[in-house]
A and B are shown apart, each in its own frame.
Chain A
Amino acid sequence: DAGVTQSPTHLIKTRGQQVTLRCSPKSGHDTVSWYQQALGQGPQFIFQYYEEEERQRGNFPDRFSGHQFPNYSSELNVNALLLGDSALYLCASSLNQGDEQYFGPGTRLTVT
C-alpha cells in the first residue's frame, strides 16, 4: 500500500518564476492538505482540498493556488516566486477532513 508520494524531490527556481508541485494521496484517502515548512519551523497550513474544491485556506497570498483532480491527486502552484518561498513543501492526505493526516516526504524548493 503506497503512502503519500510527492514530486519532484528537489527543485531550484529563480525569483519571479512559477512552480508546480505534485502529490498523490495514500490509497483510499480523499482529502489533501498542503503545508510549508521553513527551516527550523513547524509546518504551516497552506490549504486543503476535498471533492476537488479548496475547503480551507491558511494565511498565504493568492500567489499560492492549487487543484485537486478526480483521482484525488493534487497540485500546488506558486507564482512570482520570492526568496522567502524557499522551504520544504509537505503534502498530507486523510480519509476525511477531520481525520489524522499522513504526510509525504516533501518537495524541497530553493528560490535563488
Chain B
Amino acid sequence: AQSVSQHNHHVILSEAASLELGCNYSYGGTVNLFWYVQYPGQHLQLLLKYFSGDPLVKGIKGFEAEFIKSKFSFNLRKPSVQWSDTAEYFCAVNDSGRGSTLGRLYFGRGTQLTVWP
C-alpha cells in the first residue's frame, strides 16, 4: 500500500522567512498529489494539486510545489511566510493508475507550521 512521509512534524518560522515542507511517497506508479491545509478551527482545504503536466504547480496564497518523480517527492514551498500561514499542512497521494484504489487518499501525518510575527 502507498505510504506518505512528512519529515517535519513542527516547523517554526519568523514572518518573511522562506518555507519548504518535505513530502515523500512510496509507490512509484501514476499518482495524483495534493497539499491540504487546516487553519485553526477550520476544515481541511485544498492548497494545490498535481495531476499531470508541468511538475511545478502553483496554488492559493502564494504556495507552490514541485513534483520530482525520480525522488518520489512533492515538496511545498513559499518564498515569504506570513503570520496567517500558521496552520497544519498535510500532503496526500492518490494512486490514479490503480483502479482498485482509485480515489483513496493516503495522507502524511501532517506538519504544524507556526509563524511568529
A106 to B101 alpha-carbon distance, docked (Å)? 23
Contact B103 A48 (CB under 8 A): yes
Contact A103 B44 (CB under 8 A): yes
> Contacts of A99 on B, CB cut-off 8 Å?
103
A90 to B107 alpha-carbon distance, docked (Å)? 13
Contact B109 A104 (CB under 8 A): no
Separation in Å of the A44 CB from the closest CB of chain B?
Answer: 7
A44 to B48 alpha-carbon distance, docked (Å)? 20
Q: Please tell me which one of the listed residues B4, B100, B105, B110 contacts residue A33 in the complex, with CB atoms under 8 A apart.
A: B105
Contact A42 B108 (CB under 8 A): yes
User: What mask results when residues 92 to 117 of chain B are scored 1 for a CB within 8 Å of chain A, else 0?
Assistant: 10101000111111111110000000
Q: Please tell me which one of the listed residues A50, A56, A98, A105 contacts residue B32 in the complex, with CB atoms under 8 A apart.
A: A98
Interface size class of A (residues with CB under 8 A): 20 to 34
- In chain B, positions 63-117 with a C-beta closer than 8 Å to chain A are 90, 92, 94, 96, 100-110
- Whether A98 contacts B94 in the complex (CB less than 8 A), given A41-B110, A90-B44, A105-B43, comes out as yes
Given contacts A55-B103, A92-B105, 17 further A-B contacts (CB under 8 A): A31-B103, A35-B105, A40-B110, A42-B4, A42-B92, A42-B110, A43-B44, A43-B90, A43-B107, A44-B107, A48-B104, A97-B102, A98-B94, A99-B103, A103-B43, A105-B42, A106-B43
14 contacting pairs across A/B (C-beta < 8 A): A40-B109, A40-B110, A41-B110, A42-B4, A42-B6, A42-B90, A42-B92, A42-B107, A56-B101, A56-B102, A58-B104, A97-B102, A98-B94, A103-B44
- Nearest 7 A/B pairs, CB to CB: A42-B107, A97-B103, A103-B44, A105-B43, A42-B109, A98-B102, A43-B107
Show the binding face of A for B, using Cβ within 8 Å. Answer: 31, 33, 35, 40-45, 48, 50, 55-56, 58, 90, 92, 94, 96-106
